[in-house]
Structure 1
Amino acid sequence: MIIGLEQYKDKWNIHTDASIQPGLEAITGALDELGNPHKNGRFIHLAGTNGKGSTATFLSAILQAHGHSVGNFFSPCLEDLHDQIQMNGEPINPVELEQVMERLSKIKTPLTDFELLTAAAFIAFQQQAPDFAIIEAGMGGALDSTNVINPELSIIPSISIEHTNFLGETIEEITRHKAGIIKKWKPVVIGELPLKSLEIIQETADRLHAEVIRPAGQIDVPLKLKGPHQQKNAQLALEAAKELLGLEFSEEKAGLGLSSATLPYRFEEVFPDVIFDGAHNQASAEALVATIRDTFPDDPIHIVMGIFKDKDYRSVLRHLETISNHFTFVDFDNERALPAAELFKESSSKRKTITNMCDILPVSHNKEKTIVTGSLHLLTLLRNSANVFFKNYQ
């Protein structure tokens, strides 16, 4: 579900399918009707399990610090579809998106919701003409609707098991999907990958004569985005920027960009002593646990958790239980939401309760740090209800 899309579809009488249908035939046909807006511009393409949004944000900040305009296409949304299409860090405004949707209402090719939004991003970037456009794949890579571009550079921050019903059950199958964004003669920057993934990426790159760039060393820049994994994402962005900017690259400007970069729900303190982090798979849960241990080594931790039923919630729970015995499981309004009772039953925590999203008061007690995690949709619902919660702080 793409939050906020229905109002535009209704206004412009656009009919799309809400299901996921991997493949490039439909998006290619639609873009051809639109005059192929994706064939002009300097694109950077990201695919991977975790780290895409943070790496894209770091890279955007570095490029802007060098005086360049930057478009971003993020997936999924945080608040609603407007924040998925950004120019220089600002979400597309409704007036601009109305103009885009008017053009899309005239095409004949049937699309899915995500294909429609992908096409909208390409139209928006054609109209705004940023110096660079950073495109984040929605799922996989090879058959993702964003994989119609010929990027100057690709980035694959991480690979782990995910979306097995679409991408396959094994790390090898999933990696082949991610490797599909690598293009002939164009470099690919990669993070720390499983050995099997690394072998497939290298084989793919060799076949396409694409240079594989692996960051070395550490960055010495204070980051607003916390955690050891964000240091790695920042290093990926730094290597990508060096490749894109060449002789124009400045360490000083890059440092300014990295230190200014922010992204919602990446270990973000939304309320006093209440941290929001959208960890919803094994790798992101591992990163969250490492960040908690690094940031709050001596504080008791309270986990507030709600998650989609198609995520690996058992693995997420097992990792979080290594740093806390106090859990609150949340029911929230979404057809994909896992019932809180299922999490309660699965958990081995000694202190655990079930609540409804409307009844949560995100205030820490007894010197606890509260970590709200799981579904980004839940985090967005809670943030949008902030005015109700803040009444309790008065």
Structure 2
Amino acid sequence: MRAEALNSMSSRVQALFRALGPWPIRDKEIAFILSLFVLLSGSVVEMNVGDEATRLTAFQALQKMALPSVITAVVVFLTLRLGRTLLARFTGYQRLIYFSTAVLLGSLIVPMRWLLIDIFDVRLNSGLADGFPLFWVSGLMYLAINASMGRSTAKLAAEVERTQTLLHELEGQRTKIVDAQEQVRKEIATYLHDGLQSQLVVLGLQMRNSIKNLPADQAAIANSFIEEIEHIRRVDVRKASQQLSPDLQQISVATAIRDIADRYSPEVKVAIGIDSAVQSPALPERTKLALYRIAEQVILNAAAHGQARNVWLSIASQGDCFDFQIANDGHPLIHPQQPGGGAAIISSWVDYLDGSWSLTQEAGQHVLFKATLNLPVLDSRG
């Protein structure tokens, strides 16, 4: 039982020492607090010791103790800065250096008090033994400030790391959602292009075969239906397939964005100006898709929510990045918009291109979407 009690006590002592340090040494903070302690305690003594004739006013006492407190701050700061330097250089002896710095600080404070009393005639007992409690005060202050600030900083760092981890996880989930959306779009587009078109072709052939024996007037009506089905197959189904998942290996970004503009014509006029570097065949397909989806979503918002009649889109190379702007003359913004919230799709694609974006109300009453995208500036000749 006695051995267990000794082991338990030893464990508690070790835990206490671990709690006390080593922590990062807060040289500036401790120097400031100790100098403030000297300033205030010395001023109080000067205001209360002696007879009425020799007592100082508060202002006079602060004036007298100002220089001693500054000297204290300098000495404490240099002592602790030495400890910080040694901690950084001799990493294998951090615990020894850390606690030795506390002893060194207390050992300097006591004679420094005596010197300040002698030089500045501060009305305190001048014996070294009378100032010995300062050894413990300064040492404990050193340990307490470093430990409290160190633990707080460690907790804050842990929270920041946890928040960053959650943000990375959220970003990963958002990327997965966008990828899943693209996959669904692609599957539907493939079905429209291959499956539905084939079925419409077969339907048209079957209808043509079934009307061969009909009277001429009935055959003409049936042929008009067949032509309408054929138009839907050749134009509408292909267009829907292209809009769902544009084949950016075969067409340029500019062509794909012009197809977006055609959807809203003539209700919304979209003026497009795109740098030749963006139209380079060497631009990765995923990057082209990102530019396409950003343009698609911003123009949709301008038309559907802003009731815009005119939209101006431009993508221009600016050094190592691209300046992507889309202005519209729709309803003014009530509040300036920032990434996030309902703009998750835009944010996801802008983040993919390692960029940033904003939506603001310009002085000329235009709503302006602006993004800076880190894209490689490629030769338009490929």
TM-score higher than 0.5 here? no
TM-score, length-normalised on structure 1? 0.18
Higher RCO (C-alpha 8 Å, min separation 6): 1
Q: When you count helix as a share of all residues, which structure comes out higher?
A: 2
TM-score, length-normalised on structure 2? 0.19
